Chain A
Amino acid sequence: MNVMLDLSGKIPLKERLRARRAHIEATGTYIERCTLKETDPIGFEVFYTKLSQSINNARDLARQVAASPEMREMGESVLGLFTPEGDAICLSPGLMVHVRTMSRAIKWMIDNDYETDVGINPGDIFFNNDPYIGGGHAPDQQIIIPLFHDDRLIGWAGGMSHVSEVGAVEPGGMGISMKTRFHEGLYLPCMKVGEGDLFKRDYEILVDRSVRASVWWLLDSRAKLAGAKLIRDAVRGLVAEYGLDHYLRIGEEYIEDTRRATIDKMRRVLYPGRYRDVGWRGIDEPDLRQLLHAPIQTTISPEGRILVDADGLSSAGPHPVQATVPLFEGILFSSLIQHVFYDTRYNEGTALVLEHRVPEGSACNPPDIYHATALWGPAFAGGIACNQSISRAYYANGYREEVHSCNAQVNAIIAGGIDLFNRKFAGWNMEMCASGSYATAFMDGLDTALAEFNAEGDSGDAEIWETALPLIYLGRTIRVDGGGFGRFRGGAGLYSVYMTPDVPKLELGSFGGAPIFPAPGLMGGYPAPMPTVYVVRNTDLKERIEKRLPLPHHEGDPASPDVVTQAKGDVEVVRGGNYIARNIQPYSLYVQPGGDGSGFGDVLCREPEKVKRDLDNGVTSRHAAESVYGVVLSKDGVVDLAATEKRREEIRARRLARGIPADQYRKKVRQKFLSGDLPAVSKTLFRDTLSNHGRFRDEFLEFWELPSDFAIA
């Protein structure tokens, strides 16, 4: 009897899951043959069309019920249908980071004997937001319901979305002060929160009393449930029409079919080889100052298999800038789906072709579940690095239309208190879902359009955000020189200037990153600039308004921004953009950059006309035009080609003058290792990485010609 495909309905889920894992382990396939597809290719298509349509309907429906801008506006959600063992058969578009996180939650319930100990019955509603089980952080919330045919469990339907208020130490569920799991708010690990298709009252009381404002959590739970139930109805219809056996078999075939298509596509479009790129994150707090690196080695085999190896990744620590393995994996899926598998189906079959190695105890695979994960950490950096490598593989094959540098980390403002309508509120402004996008090999990155983790980028309207959070936009503009410089520049992100409203209580903060370049350039392009938050307290705004004096609305000159020059007050410059939420008075100023894309190619190859256009649109500064791009404009603002070429020759000459041969450079730096003359940040980083014995360590020592027993002083 086929244990995996249990047509008898008698075999315990746990046993079936074990059998499935063994089969995959042994054969590398999900099932051996796609018989239904081979015998009736048309029927195979027809069935899938019905299935995928109903899952997209489910997401649309859920979005209408949702309360949070991230679910309704930003599309921060995904719905899906799963096999009895929890493998995704079909998923809606949306947050592709979560292609497998709901699967992991279902499998976790099966592994932990929910079938016998907790009970899995028709009408049950399960909730999970434990990132170590399946997710990114507390705000990633899943609603999962079992699907039954008579008394037999035939699958699962689920919805996942990002809910911003979770009762953490800071509002909005994401903040730099969350040093352990116990700062991160309310965790419900795979908990049964409803029966008979209704949420339990005690669950809602628990949520209501555990978070600052429960409406988003509770309404978005309803949204996901409504969507999941729509999927359940669709499955009932399909089983009635085709019979249960057909339904169960065809689901498995879609997974295997996808696995094959996925490998095949990689083999065709990605040039085989060994690729290496590095992503960066960090913490800059008084008690902890640390750089985290994600060195990613991506190997693409001639057969189309892909192995992502994070050997050398920084260690986990007492901070939220780290991630779980499910998230690390999710980020890789998200990158691959957006850039390689956009035209194939994605489900568990996609997951099967991706192999990854994340060192235990690292910042993407913490040693225990008490490590905080609020800010994803180097997982995004790793995804970005993998993305760069994919671009190199496309480039080598000539597919320039797919080559792109990378998106920055995203940064956002978080807030809590009482709003203009006297309601409790807490959350964050997710307009950074429209950050500046990566430069490509054929055009500039898009300004204010995209975030790495959500292909359907959107900023939402300012008026919608002012409904959700009481902050007043004084301006919402494009960050000047936000895009990393290059032959094609990165997209620039939003630059929002807020005035705090006159409300009884308001705490404000931001999450961003360490004071570093978060987004590397590609093939000569420069990285995107570092994000910087400005907070100005005790301003003279009220008086200025009464006197009709000019107010700060724009960035102005990045070197001396308008928020500093156009208003008096006590200015805090938060380099990198991590600002722990704290109380703030009315008529204060707050500047939040959203995040930018990095550049592609040598700046001196940029078409001068493009530079001029950016100048006219206020996206590039005159300084950058002249000293970075070497573009000279005449008085009346026309490009002077001759002068430009001359300026560019000067810049090239300067490069040759100051560049030193690599071997000399290496000798110089090697000396610093021996003399210990390196900055503290470098030392901390190397001390940590060298303490982990592995490939990265060996190559590190070899590169600097250091003894095998070398230790950082």
Chain B
Amino acid sequence: MSLLEEKELSDLLDGTLDLERVREIQRAPKDLDRRERLLAIEQKRLGWKDRIVLALQESLFIVQTDAGKTVRCRCGHHFGDYRRNWKESALVHERDPQDGELYASANAPTKDWMILREFYCPTCATLLDTENVPQGYPFIFNFLPYFQDEKP
């Protein structure tokens, strides 16, 4: 496989890269500088300057600030220290799966079994995560990354 070009990487990010090309990339041994290269592309795209140290998930980054490593949304919203679940600083909507907005009634649970918990960015309203859980289930802390320069 020829090495990934800048354009291909950013197309991969956008989900517009030709799928046969993606297959070549999937077949090839993993390029070990991928994280740095993707972060560089993301950094260029963002409207703010904090240095990204990790892409946490869709729309969320861990950035290095004077206050330490914090979670920040693509739109710039700050969620706070990465060691604390970012969901605890998000907007939450507890959706009744039977509300008719998404699923046909026969294809969704009733809220006695499960609710659909949606987490939004308070600034840009991006839907950052959904949790299908019974009422009263604690937030799920999906990812606590390990950094060489500090112990979680």
B47 adjacent to chain A (CB < 8 Å): no
Chain A residues whose CB sits within 8 angstroms of the CB of B142 once the complex forms = 275-277, 389, 392
Residues of B21-42 whose CB lies within 8 A of A: 22, 25-26, 29-30, 32, 34-35, 37-39
Complex contact B125–A272 (CB within 8 A): no
Number of A-B contacts defined by CB within 8 Å: 230
The distance in angstroms between the C-alpha atoms of A517 and B15, with both chains bound, is: 26
**A443 lies within 8 A of B19 (CB):** yes
Contact between B34 and A524, CB atoms less than 8 A apart: no
Pairwise interchain contact A529-B108, C-beta atoms closer than 8 A: yes
B42-70 CB mask vs A (1 if < 8 Å, else 0) is 00000000000011111100000000000
- Are B37 and A398 in touch, CB under 8 angstroms? yes
Check if B132 sits within 8 Å of A516, measured CB to CB. Answer: yes
Q: A603 near B: Cβ within 8 Å?
A: yes
A615 lies within 8 A of chain B by Cβ: no
Contact with B90, one of A600, A662, A678 (Cβ below 8 angstroms): A662
Q: For the complex, what is the distance from the CA of A576 to the CA of B144, rounded to whole Å? A: 33
Which residues from B are CB-within-8-Å of A605?
Answer: 126
- Residues in A whose Cβ lies below 8 Å from that of B144: 273-275
A484, closest chain B residue (CB): B130
In chain A, residues 287-305, which have Cβ atoms closer than 8 Å to a Cβ of chain B?
A: 291, 293, 301-302
Q: A575 to B135, alpha carbons, bound, how many Å?
A: 19
Query: Which of B103, B125, B127 has its CB near the most chain A CB atoms (within 10 A)?
Result: B127
Cross-interface CB contact of B15 among A273, A301, A441, cutoff 8 Å: A441
Q: Is the CB of A302 within 8 A of B146?
A: yes
Number of interface residues of B (CB under 8 A): 75
Say whether, besides A398-B38, A662-B87, A488 and B15 are in contact (CB < 8 Å). Answer: yes
Task: Decide if B122 touches A682 in the complex (CB within 8 Å).
Answer: no
Which chain A residues border B118 with CB–CB below 8 Å?
A: 655, 659
Instruction: Give CA–CA (A627, B102) in the complex, Å.
Output: 7
- Segment with Cβ contacts to B, from A43-51, A240-248, A346-354, A399-407: A399-407
Give B34 Cβ to nearest chain A Cβ, in Å.
4
Set of chain A residues within 8 Å of B56, measured between Cβ atoms: 396
Tell whether, in the assembled complex, residue B103 and residue A481 are in contact, meaning their CB atoms are under 8 Å apart. yes
Chain A residue nearest to B112 (CB atoms) is A679
What residues of chain A lie closer than 8 Å to B127, measured between beta carbons? 524, 602-604, 655
- Beta-carbon contact of B140 and A276 below 8 Å: yes
Residue from the set B129, B134, B152 with the largest chain A CB neighbour count within 10 Å: B134
Whether B125 lies near A520 (C-beta < 8 A) is no
Chain B: CB-nearest residue to A274: B144
> Which single residue of chain B is at the shortest CB-CB distance from A559?
B104
A370 at the interface (CB under 8 A from B): no
What residues of B have a CB within 8 angstroms of the CB of A669 in the complex? 135-136
Given A302-B148, A573-B106, the answer on whether A278 and B140 have CB atoms closer than 8 Å is: yes
Whether the pair A524, B130 counts as a contact (CB closer than 8 A) is yes
> What is the minimal beta-carbon distance from B50 to any residue of chain A, in angstroms?
17
B105/A559 in contact, CB under 8 A: yes
Using Cβ atoms and an 8 Å threshold, which residues of chain A touch B114?
A: 280, 291, 516-517
The residue from A523, A530, A604, A686 contacting B109, defined by CB atoms under 8 A apart: A530
Question: 10 tightest CB-CB pairs across the interface, nearest first?
Answer: A659-B91, A558-B104, A398-B38, A652-B125, A517-B132, A529-B107, A398-B34, A703-B138, A273-B145, A523-B58
